[in-house]
Amino acid sequence: NPLEKARYLGSAHTPAQLPPDGGFEVAFAGRSNAGKSSALNALTRQNALARVSKTPGRTQQLVYFEVAPERYLVDLPGYGYAKVPMDLKAHWERFLDNWFRTREALRGLVVVMDIRHPLKDYDRQMIDYAVARGLPAHALLTKADKLGRGQQAQAVAAVRRELAAAGAGGVGVQAFSSENKQGVDEARAVVNGWLEL
């Protein structure tokens, strides 16, 4: 799979640190501790690509991984966590907001949510942004290994229903587990499609 070629490219905390806005990028967003970095590692089949942390909310950077020339995966910092000084936080939010709204290379958004706690405020906000921009989005309901199959199916159906009611019915929704790799092939197909790999 092409995603297995991913390698760390660099991290951006300011616009000047970003790669040129000319390629194809897929962003991974989600609350702190939802399992974004673990999902990236599962999709790329690299256990130590994105750092997996039990201490949430530390990085305030866009972390770029290069899959192929001008094809990137971007690990966004977990939202819903505010262990940083206010001025830094304001700078960061402005940067992220701008990037998300104007980045032309951005081809798709993966929203990573704990299957037991999906669609919190910030998740909805990210999905709304994506819909408003006409950006395709895909929801990974991760940590599915924590639920039985029946409960998983219920959670997926509930999220689909809520998104449809919110005018985001085009957003894909699937169960996922970085732990046992459930749903990895399905998610890879979505990401590869967006990156035109």
Q: Summarize as ranges the residues that interact with ligand GTP (CB under 6 A).
A: 30, 32-38, 52-54, 56-57, 78, 142-143, 145-146, 177-179
Q: How far is the CB of 32 from Mg ion (least distance, A)?
A: 8
Judged by beta carbon, residue 40 or residue 135, the one nearer Mg ion is 40
Q: Which CB atom, from 33 or from 171, has the smaller least distance to ligand GTP?
A: 33
Listing from the earlier edge strand, what are the strands of the sheet with 7-12? 7-12, 62-68, 71-75, 24-30, 106-114, 137-142, 172-175
Considering the complex, state which of residue 52 and residue 68 has its C-beta at the smaller distance from ligand GTP: 52
Residue found under tokens 């009611």 = 165
Please give the single-letter amino acid code of residue 62.
L
The residue at minimum Cβ distance from ligand GTP is 78
**What secondary structure letter does DSSP report for 45?**
T
Among residues 37, 41, 61, 178, which is the contact residue for Mg ion, using CB under 5 A?
Answer: 37
Nearest-approach distance from CB 77 to Mg ion, in angstroms: 7
How far is C-alpha 145 from the chain's CA centre? 19
Which of residues 46 and 70 has its CB atom nearest to ligand GTP in the complex? Answer: 46
Least spacing, CB of residue 3 vs ligand GTP, in Å: 16
Please say whether the beta carbons of 45 and 169 come within 8 A. Answer: no
DSSP code of residue 144:
G
Q: Cβ 35 to Mg ion, closest distance in Å? A: 8
**How far is it, in rounded angstroms, from Cα 159 to Cα 46?**
29
Which residue number, 47 or 102, has a Cβ lying nearer to ligand GTP?
Answer: 47
**How many other C-beta atoms lie within 10 A of the C-beta of residue 132?**
10
Euclidean distance between CA atoms 64 and 10, whole angstroms: 5
Rounded to whole angstroms, the Cα distance separating 128 from 118 reads 15
Judged by beta carbon distances under 5 to 8 A according to partner kind, the member of ligand GTP, Mg ion, none in contact with residue 188 is none
Residue 61 lies near Mg ion (rule: CB under 5 A): no
142 interacts with Mg ion by CB under 5 A: no
